[in-house]
Structure 1
Amino acid sequence: MNWANESILQDFILLGFSDRPWLEFPLFVAFLISYIVTIFGNLIIILVSCLDSKLHTPMYFFLTNLSLLDLCYITCTVPQMLVNLCSIKKVISYSGCVAQLFMFLALGATECVLLAIMSFDRFVAICRPLHYSVIMHQRLCLQLAAACWITGFGNSVWLSTLTLQLPLCGPYIVDHFLCEIPALLKLSCVDTTANEAELFSVSVLFHLIPLTFILISYAFIAQAILRIRSTEGRQKALGTCGSHLIVVSLFYGTAISMYLQPPSPNSKDRGKMVSLFYGIIAPMLNPLIYTLRNKEVKEAFKRLVARVFLNKK
């Protein structure tokens, strides 16, 4: 007997922050603001990158993919959280739980690979500037982006299937604010050691390997920047890498603390807080980091706004 057979008609209770009811209204306001900022911020980056011909480069193509990913990321979790924060019965349907589990895993793995590919793009731009357009041609960029999404969703199909096959013992109470593997494994009636080992192995594969690749890329980038004699040239090179490095630090720092640290007495609350940052705060900060630190995006946005107002007149 598996989860699907036993629980197809069951709703799941997401405890979330119900042990701290005084936090629910402030969290509702904070999450709603974060959601609105994330939606508008990432939509602006997508629109500007697509509509401004000056941003039709590999760097902004991958940034558009990151913004689309962040839009999907926050949408698969926050609307359900907002509903539950406002209601007494904090439930999610079986199908909703499965969809949330699948999407959260898929988008997280996709972002891991995408950030590594973005570091490769920066490596080629700074270390091989004369060959940049030849190496990072349109076909390769499309193939790399497709590889990110296919790898992330393929990983999610595998891990989600392994998790959904486990038999459950009621009550169907998930001590989290979203359907995530570590929280769902605790509902199983059987030993989940093998599943936990598989989750850890996949986490190492999707976190440490891309992170190692990013660090190696930036080691070569640092060497190339140190060889640049002009201060202006160094600043320009650092400017193209600074935003990506900040995003990488935010994403991988929280992801590693979430999946690769050993369990502890406080791991339950730590997991909730890390998931909040991983799935909500980081997608909100990404567009702010790229727009506030990037002159090209700000100038493109000004051109887009000016074009809209001129068309209205």
Structure 2
Amino acid sequence: MKKEEDFDASLAGEGDPSDEVKSSWFKRMKKGILTSTKDKKDAPEGLWSKCPSCKYTCTVSELSENNFVCPKCEYHHRIGSDEYFEIIFDNDEHIELFANIRSKDFLHFVDLKPYDKRLEETYSKTGIHDSMTVAHGKVNGHDLVVACMDFEFIGGSLGSVMGEKISRGCDYCLEHNIPFMIINKSGGARMMESAFSLMQLAKTSGKLSQLSDAKIPYISLCTDPTFGGTTASFAMLGDVICGEPGALIGFAGPRVIKETIKKDLPEGFQRSEFLLEHGFLDFIVHRKELKEKLANLLLLFKS
């Protein structure tokens, strides 16, 4: 009680505060400096979202209404297949294809935990069975098959299931003469499947060449991040290759490259704007304009 009275008196300018009071006052002020109150929000988890780029805080519903693009700085948040299908397809009406394919632990692989256990835990957490979902729907009345990756499922890694879904998606497009699109969001090959994963690079590339021979369009959209085996294969094989603003796209990450070559990298290295400037992308498309851009491309392909 005495400490509190001394502290209040010192704030009012009455008397000379003791060293103990000064110390407690300094600690409070220091704590206030360390913790920014405007960044700290006491709210239920999942109600608010903070932009990783500009730190702007808004409600999740506001972000959702804006297609998960920051209202302040236009940063494109990472989203999954459900959100992309809602953006792209008319009235969010689509048919999921090949939903019964599941990953298997062929090699009985164990790192920090067995691979089959990791698959079970990821499914229970995300509600999705693998890192890719394929769907058939219409974009402003035009048919399109979209294969979209989900980064939350083991980093969107390329495994045997993803390769099989892309292959079957190509077969479906060949059978029905429908354009094909892949939305890339991946950290690369799935190490837990070893050679089975690496085989998918050749497998998917071969299937996409069949689309090319049949003159069926293939559109590749690179989102943040697109790396490793995806970039080394189907992500860069599109008749049209586009990217979202600010997306990180490459084979190895910038930190790995910098440590390897022992040199500083150019500003904006591996960002979609850098790739567009150097001819790796045909254009960059804002998420709000994605559906309209796709509809125009599909109309152009038809004519």
TM-score in terms of structure 1 length: 0.29
**Which structure has greater helix proportion?**
1
- Structure with more contact order per residue of length (Cα contacts < 8 Å, sep ≥ 6): 1
**Which structure has greater strand proportion?**
2
TM-score in terms of structure 2 length: 0.30
